[in-house]
């Protein structure tokens, strides 16, 4: 069964600190992995997209890593800001001809002043 | 830059009524996806269209139907609404199949 699991479920950090979110997946055949940021009641916004051959990709203060062998990914946020408070969703795409996305349940991050 | 447009943003309906949600993809995007996200849940894929033809089908109830029009906008029609249909409905578009999906702001449907 295709699954995407994220940890922790929720996280509170102080403004300016770094944090790392984890994603484990069992999706086959793997096509790509995406990290999305979703503010409450808003549509997910793409942060990074990584294919099988990519190990790391950065987008500003966000750095995603991918280990396709262990089927794990992480999202590292550097120097957190209050605006980083949101849900971060790991989404893995199964290449079944038409891309089907398997969503993780997300990590809810709260950055406090 | 133009984004995915969804309308309405909020919709309140009563049980057994019908609702139509609209999605306008980013210009030159030919693929549209619909997702349903219940409270505290991850988005669930409903259905997708490529070049006005249904390309994939997920957990879309038989009470729902959708189509993509010649201008590539898509409509999700929901009939015999149930309380459990209350959710955020997201539309996403991509420039072609298998590429990055860009999500719209969503339509919040409340069924009372």
pLDDT in tens, chain B (112 residues): 678 999 999 999 999 999 999 999 999 898 899 999 888 777 888 998 988 898 888 889 999 999 999 999 999 999 999 999 999 999 999 887 656 788 888 999 999 9
Contact yes or no for A46 and B102 at CB 8 A = yes
Contact yes or no for A99 and B104 at CB 8 A = no
Taking the CA atoms of A61, A36, A98 and A94 in sequence, report the sign of the dihedral they define. positive
φ, ψ for residue B30, nearest 5 deg: -110, 0
* Mean pLDDT over the full length of chain A: 90
Contact yes or no for A99 and B98 at CB 8 A = yes
Distance of residue A11 Cα from the nearest chain B Cα, in angstroms: 16
Chain B residues with CB under 8 Å of A36 CB are: 103
* Residue among A43, A99, A100 whose CB faces B106 most closely: A43
Q: Minimal CA–CA distance to A83: which of A42, A34, A22? A: A42
Supply the pLDDT for residue B103. 87
CB B18 within 8 Å of CB B77: yes
Distance of residue B103 Cα from the nearest chain A Cα, in angstroms: 6
CB A92 within 8 Å of CB A3: no
Supply the pLDDT for residue A97. 54
* Residue among A41, A89, A98 whose CB faces B108 most closely: A41
pLDDT band at A15 (very low <50, low <70, confident <90, very high): very high
Q: DSSP 3-state assignment of B50?
A: strand
Interface-testing mutation among B6, B42, B53, with chain A (most A C-beta atoms within 10 A): B42
Q: Does A29 touch chain B (CB under 8 A)?
A: no
CB A6 within 8 Å of CB A105: yes
* Residue among A43, A98, A103 whose CB faces B56 most closely: A98
Sole residue written with tokens 């790391």: A56
Parallel, antiparallel or unpaired: strands A4-7 and A107-112: unpaired
* Residue among A36, A43, A101 whose CB faces B105 most closely: A43
Supply the pLDDT for residue A75. 98
pLDDT surpasses 90 at A40: no
Q: How many residues does chain A have?
A: 113
């Amino acid at each position: 069964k295709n699954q995407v699991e994220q940890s922790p479920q929720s996280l509170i950090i102080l403004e300016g600190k770094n944090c790392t979110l984890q994603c484990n997946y069992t999706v086959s055949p793997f096509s790509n992995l995406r990290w999305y940021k979703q503010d409450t009641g808003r549509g997910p916004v793409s942060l990074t997209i990584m294919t099988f051959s990519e190990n790391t990709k950065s987008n500003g203060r966000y750095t995603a890593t991918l280990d396709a062998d262990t089927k794990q990914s992480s999202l590292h946020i550097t120097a957190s800001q209050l605006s980083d408070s949101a849900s971060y969703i790991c989404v893995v795409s199964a290449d079944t001809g038409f891309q089907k996305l398997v969503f993780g349940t997300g990590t809810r991050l709260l950055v406090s002043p | 830059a133009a984004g995915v447009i969804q309308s309405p943003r909020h919709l309140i309906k009563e049980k057994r009524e019908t609702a139509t949600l609209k999605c306008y993809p980013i210009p030159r995007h030919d693929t549209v996806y619909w997702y349903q996200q219940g409270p505290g849940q991850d988005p669930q894929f409903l259905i997708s269209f490529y070049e006005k033809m249904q390309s994939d089908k997920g957990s879309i109830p038989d009470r729902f139907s959708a189509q993509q029009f010649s201008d590539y906008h898509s409509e999700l029609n929901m009939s015999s609404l149930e309380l459990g249909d209350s959710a955020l409905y997201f539309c996403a578009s991509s420039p072609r199949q298998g590429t990055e999906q860009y999500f719209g702001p969503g339509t919040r449907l409340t069924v009372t």
